[in-house]
Amino acid sequence: MANPATVEQTVRYRSANAVLVGNALTKVYRMGEVNVHALRGIDIALYEGELMVLLGASGSGKSTLLNILGGLDVPTEGRVVYRDQDLTSADNDQLTAFRRDHVGFVFQFYNLIPSLTARENVALVTEIAPNPITPEAALDLVDLGERLDHFPAQLSGGEQQRVAIARAVAKQPDMLMCDEPTGALDAATGRIVLEVLERVNRELGTTTAIITHNAPIAAMADRVVTLADGLIKQEGYNSQKKPVREIVW
């Protein structure tokens, strides 16, 4: 799948603007009596318009990395720079503003607010984002234009995840960070969700990072980064991205 020999593509991405760059990122958690090294020194960048898949087993540090890149967490050491803005020294409010203005999140368990309808869950974000599309348009984008006024409990898992994607893209973010978006879904439903992400990346050009432990999914990416034990084990480019509908897992 990954083919480091595709020089043409390498040049294309390297020369494109790096939206977000992380240097020498380490993260140490304290769990009770022991220190857990989740990241052990990672250099990584996200490029304008690309779809990157972060592959790795459970505990490899991929969620930690995504959280740090998305401004949800801060590294123990290392630097994170978004365009010209150094996030390493950003305080809580600056990080919040960064997330509010530039990042869309999609989580494994959707994390919708159960007391709000689909439309209201999206509105939660459009009301505070600087340049949003309407909640209705965002839900149309994920083919949920018909289920605007349903509460999460009235939606299937796949539908809930699509609402979550609508919520993430409605603000027209610069980056979409997806943490195991299909982790809680069966394959067929998962495919529908990935198709939505694929379409968003293609049609809106939103830089997208997807975490998965599911290797076949990497076929949909422009670039694949594999993490193991807090380090980047492998990085490569797909010469030929596979449409999601052709991926089987």
Partner 1 sequence: MVAAIDRKLLRDLFNLRGQVITIALVCACGIASYASVLGTYESLLYARDAYYERQRFADVFAYLKRAPDALLARIQDIPGVSLAYGRILQPVKVPIEGLTEPAQGQAISLPATGEPPLNGVHLVEGRLPETGREDEALLLEAFAKAHKLRPGDHIPVVLNGVLRSFRITGIAMSPEYVFSVPPGEMLADPLRFAVLWLNQEVLAAAYQMEGAFNDVLVKLQPGASESAVIVELNALLDPHGCMGAYGRDKQLSHNVVKSELGSLKAMAKVLPVIFLAVAAFLVNVVLSRLVQLQRQQIAVLKAVGYRDRDIGLHYLKLVSVILLIGALLGLAFGVWIGRYFTDLYIKFFAFPDLRYISDPGVLGTALLVSVVTAVIGALASARTVMRLPPAEAMRPEAPAIYRRALSEVLKLQALFGDSARMVLRELERRPLRTLLSALGIAFSVALLVSGRFMFDSIDLLMNVVFEGAQREDVIVVFSEAVPERAMREIGHLPGVLRVEGLRVVPVRVRFGHRTRDVQLMGYGDRAQLRRVMDDRGRVYLPPREGVMLSSELAKVLNVGLGQRVRVELLEGERQKSELAVTGIVDDLIAMFGHMRLDNLNRLMREQSRVSMAALSVDPRRYGELRDALTDRPAVLGISRREHLIEQFKRQTADQMHVFTFIVTAFASIIAIGVVYNNARVSLSMRSRDLASLRVLGFRRGEISAVLLGELALEVLLGLPPGMLIGKLLAIGMMSGIDTEQYRFPVVISAQTYAYAAVVTLGAALVSALLVRRKLDKLDLIAVLKTRE
Minimum CB separation from partner 1 for residue 36, in Å?
Answer: 13
Q: β-strands 207-212, 51-56: how paired?
A: parallel
Amino acid at 87: L
Residue type, 199: R
Are 244 and 216 within 8 A, CB to CB? Answer: no
CB nearer partner 1, residue 60 or residue 64: 64
210: left (phi over 0), alpha (psi -120 to 50) or beta: beta
Classify residue 71 as left (phi > 0), alpha (psi -120 to 50) or beta: left
**Smaller CB separation from partner 1, 171 or 191:** 171
Query: Minimal distance in Å, beta carbon 9 to partner 1?
Result: 32
Q: How far is the CB of 125 from partner 1 (least distance, A)?
A: 5
Q: Which is nearer to partner 1, 101 or 140 (CB)?
A: 101
Binding site for partner 1 (CB under 8 A): 64, 67, 70, 72-73, 92-93, 96-97, 99-101, 103-105, 107, 109, 111-116, 120-121, 123-125, 127-129, 167-168, 171
- Please state the closest distance from residue 171 (CB atom) to partner 1, in A: 8
d(CA 118, CA 147) in angstroms, rounded, equals: 7
Cβ-based nearer residue to partner 1, 2 or 142: 142
Block residue for tokens 């159960």? 114
Question: What's the distance, CA 1 to chain centroid?
Answer: 21
Provide the residue count of the chain. Answer: 249
- 71 versus 236: smaller Cβ distance to partner 1: 71
Residue 202 burial (CB count, 10 A): 13
Q: How far is the CB of 63 from partner 1 (least distance, A)?
A: 8
CB of 56 or CB of 236, closer to partner 1: 56
Q: Hunting for tokens 């193991």 — which residue is that?
A: 228
Query: Shortest distance, CB of residue 162 to partner 1, whole angstroms?
Result: 16
Q: Are 193 and 161 in contact (CB under 8 A)?
A: yes
Shortest separation between residue 200's beta carbon and partner 1, angstroms: 16
Pick between residue 101 and residue 195 the one whose CB is nearest to partner 1: 101
Alpha-carbon distance of 201 to 69, in angstroms, equals: 18
